[in-house]
Copies of this chain bind each other. A is one copy, B any other.
Amino acid sequence: MLHWRGERADGKIVPFPAAAGTGGRGAVCDLLESIGSCMNFGRNAEIFGEDEPADYFYKVVSGAVRISKLLSDGRRQIGAFYLPGEMFGLETDDVHAFSAEAICDSQILVVKRSTFLVEAKRDCAIVTEIWTQTMTHLQRAQNHMLLLGRKNAQERIAAFLLEMAARLSHTGEVELPMSRQDIADYLGLTIETVSRTLTQLERDGLIAIPASRRIVFRDRAALDLMNDSLAA
């Protein structure tokens, strides 16, 4: 089975190194590890479902997670990918608004909500830290809305590749943990459009695709340009 960066062969729970994302460190990190337990989920295993009670929340130790919403006819939108070090599944409501699945074999730290909330009552810093992380996710979501509402296929793919590169690699290439279908559902495109656009970017010399899930950056400046970045 495919192994993903951050996954450990021995299955031991360790704080994930500083590499990725919103909140690896801090008091919450320590707290969660002391009051949570670690579970393994196989590829495509459901971690929780839409409308299920939100009694727990979660932190990715290794692997990768997607959260998604479905329309009744099967159309799917992936709201976010979560990578090692990131928390997910906390909601105001007592039922989940999303479902969450493991993208590849993953270790997930599971924390009982009520246990956590008791701790939080006593320590303002904990709440502040969680709030900060929630805000980060909100900002990401709002950024993603600009992409979904206003960008064309090329711009979406460029933004996606750069996001993934920033979040899980510091070299000139990325190994994507997710399928083309996941990418499509994240970017609001079809699988065919994702594939065609990637092929086109390769033809144009902006990237190379030595294996379908491995992307090598050949002209990052051009990708940055597509990504706009600079608002008026």
* Residues of A participating in the B interface, judged by any CB pair closer than 8 Å: 1-2, 50-51, 67, 69-72, 74-77, 79-80, 90-93, 97-98, 120-121, 123-124, 127-128, 130-132, 134-139, 141-146, 148-151, 185, 187-188, 228, 230-232
Contacts and interface: CB of A to CB of B under 8 A. Distances in A.
A69 B124 contact: no
Interface centre among A1, A71, A93, A123 (most CB of B within 10 A): A71
B139 A97 contact: yes
A187 B142 CA distance: 13
Contacts of A77: 145-146, 149-150
A232 B138 contact: no
Specify how many copies of this chain sit in the oligomer. 2
Contact of A131 (B134, B146, B185, B232): B134
Contacts of A139: 91-93, 97
Contacts of A90: 135
A93 B145 CA distance: 19
19 contacts: A1-B232, A69-B142, A69-B143, A71-B228, A71-B231, A75-B150, A77-B146, A77-B150, A97-B139, A97-B142, A124-B127, A127-B128, A127-B131, A130-B131, A131-B134, A134-B134, A138-B141, A141-B141, A148-B148
Contacts of A98: 142
Top-8 shortest CB links A-B? A149-B188, A148-B148, A131-B131, A141-B141, A77-B146, A92-B135, A124-B124, A77-B149
Contacts of A51: 231
Contacts of A124: 120-121, 123-124, 127
Given A79-B145, A134-B134, A135-B92, A150 B230 contact: no
Interface centre among A70, A146, A187 (most CB of B within 10 A): A146
A121 B127 CA distance: 11
Given A67-B142, A70-B231, A74-B232, 19 more contacts: A1-B232, A50-B231, A69-B142, A70-B232, A72-B230, A72-B231, A80-B142, A92-B136, A92-B139, A98-B142, A124-B127, A127-B127, A131-B134, A134-B134, A141-B145, A144-B145, A148-B148, A149-B188, A150-B188
